[in-house]
Amino acid sequence: MSNSNIFDLMVAEHNNVLDFIKAIEISNCNAINGKALEIQDYFDLINFGRLYADKHHHGKEELILFREMINHLGLVAVKIIKQGMLVEHDLGRLYLNQLEESLNSYKKTGSLQDKLKVIVNSGAWSDLLKRHIEKENTVVYTFAQRELSKETLSLIEKEFNAFEDKADVKESLLLLKNIKKKYNI
């Protein structure tokens, strides 16, 4: 992994998250159009959101990249990360928890209100992540790539490699592959 590949990898992971979101948006539109909720799509989203988007991707940001940005890039970085990115990561976790609650409730009741909550929470997670990813791609990552020293970027690269060696994203990528196929993405 070269220095620029740190960011290529992160942007590629963003694109995977965006593909999952496209599928969920179609699933939500179908549900609004009167079809029954495709319950498994939303359980798969929770799984993918927690394991891939959060543990795997946000994990590298929070434990490695953002840590180095906070340590080396001054108040602007501290502000954009602590008051922006980390708050949004947390809000994403909240939406996934609320989605899980409403989905479990819908399984029991089949009620229209619970169906609405599933659509609202999955839609909120999707909108949040889309805005978050856009900000990282255009502002946060470009700032890091421009301002961090070569030495720091090399350290990040090493830690990313170690992180990737321990990671297991096979199940998440299979969920992504299957949902993309289901919705022709």
Provide the binding-site residues for Fe ion, judged by CB under 5 A. Answer: 61, 85, 136
Helix (H) or strand (E) holding 171: helix 170-182
Nearest approach in angstroms of CB 147 to Fe ion is 18
Least CB distance to Fe ion at residue 33 (A): 32
Q: Which is nearer to Fe ion, 119 or 153 (CB)?
A: 153
CB 16, min distance to Fe ion, A: 11
Shortest distance in whole angstroms from residue 1 CB to Fe ion: 17
The residue among 85 and 175 lying less far from Fe ion, judged by its C-beta, is 85
Residue reference for tokens 């989203």: 45
Q: Are the beta carbons of 99 and 46 closer than 8 angstroms?
A: yes
What is the DSSP secondary structure assignment for residue 118, as one 8-state letter? H
CB of 129 to Fe ion, least distance (A): 9
The letter for the amino acid at 94 is L
Complex with Fe ion: residue 42 or 141, whichever CB lies closer? 141
Nearest residue (beta carbon) to Fe ion = 136
- Please say which residue, 85 or 176, places its beta carbon nearer to Fe ion: 85
- Of 54 and 147, CB closest to Fe ion: 54
Rg (C-alpha) for the chain, rounded Å, is 18
Q: Which two three-digit tokens encode residue 83?
A: 């008051």
Contact between 19 and 172 (Cβ < 8 Å): no
> Which residues, 6+ apart, have CB-to-CB distance to 185 below 8 Å?
19, 22, 23, 179
